[in-house]
Amino acid sequence: MTLVTTPDAGAALGPALDLVADRPLVVLTGAGLSTDSGIPDYRGPGSVPRTPMTWAEFVATPEARRHYWARSHVGWSRMGAAEPNAGHRALAALDPELLITQNVDGLHEAAGTRRVVALHGRVSQVICLACATVMSRAAVQRMLEAANPGWAEAHADVATRPDGDVELAETADFTVPGCPLCDGPIKPHVVFFGENVPKNRVERCYAAVDALPEADGVLLVVGTSLSVMSGLRFVKRATRQGTPVVLVNRGATRGDDLATVRLDAGCSEFLTALAALRAGQTERTKMWSADS
């Protein structure tokens, strides 16, 4: 592994340029990419240790679901208002063969990336655990507001947590409506800790990674500590087949020993520099073609 430490990715991309400047890319992103959009992460530098609600906890009791939805009701207005940052826009411009994201915020799609697999789903959707009806989070938000008038305004000053919820201890007075079709319990249509990623999503991502060696491509990993196997498995897959892995993150990751090149750099800075580099190469190619 080559380790490059630089606060300014544009000034010293070093060995990473040899790998990512002109090769096909599959990109894996994590929460570190969305911090510039105001969404905190679980494990990045300066983050406060937090314990997310698990799948087992959520389905165990109505009290646990009420606690989740009370916090999420307040936090949704913040995550729902988040905008793509320079890193998201740069990735859309790079147009990778596939973008695999562990994030549930939908900002890659909002930035215009065409080929995205949201491994853990999207917080903008809600599913009924009884009848499997999928509905928009905006519609559920209106249901929550009608059942709990003034709740969000009364807790507007609480701290934001990752995944679109907030720091809130007392939630006994919150009311959670049931599914509008069957009155069953509702759940955000995302993969909770302890829940399995749908097999078809994983297989699509494996297929994209597997196609890279033949195309002489690179797996670019940005903004994730790879603390869970959900994302780390793709790094391991690429490494086993000899595909170069470029890993960009602030702070150590579980994939450091597997990376071909490891950059300690900000996501937006690095991706913006890479997009500009590729755009410049494309423009020079067009000029050369015109002259010839």
Q: Residues 176, 179, 185, CA angle at the centre, nearest 5°?
A: 60
pTM: 0.87
Is the pLDDT score of 119 beyond 90?
yes
Question: What pLDDT digit, counting tens, does each position of 156-187 carry?
Answer: 777 666 555 666 678 889 999 999 999 999 99
> Could you read off the pLDDT of 221-230 as tens digits, one per residue?
999 999 999 9
pLDDT of residue 188: 94
* Over residues 83-108, mean pLDDT: 96
Task: Just list the catalytic residues.
Answer: 120
Distance between CA atoms of 205 and 187, rounded to whole angstroms? 25
What domains lie within the chain, and their CATH numbers? 2-291 (3.40.50.1220)
Is 205 annotated to bind ligand? no
Among 4-8, 45-49, 87-91, the range of highest mean pLDDT:
87-91
> Binding site annotation covers 267?
no
pLDDT of residue 22: 85
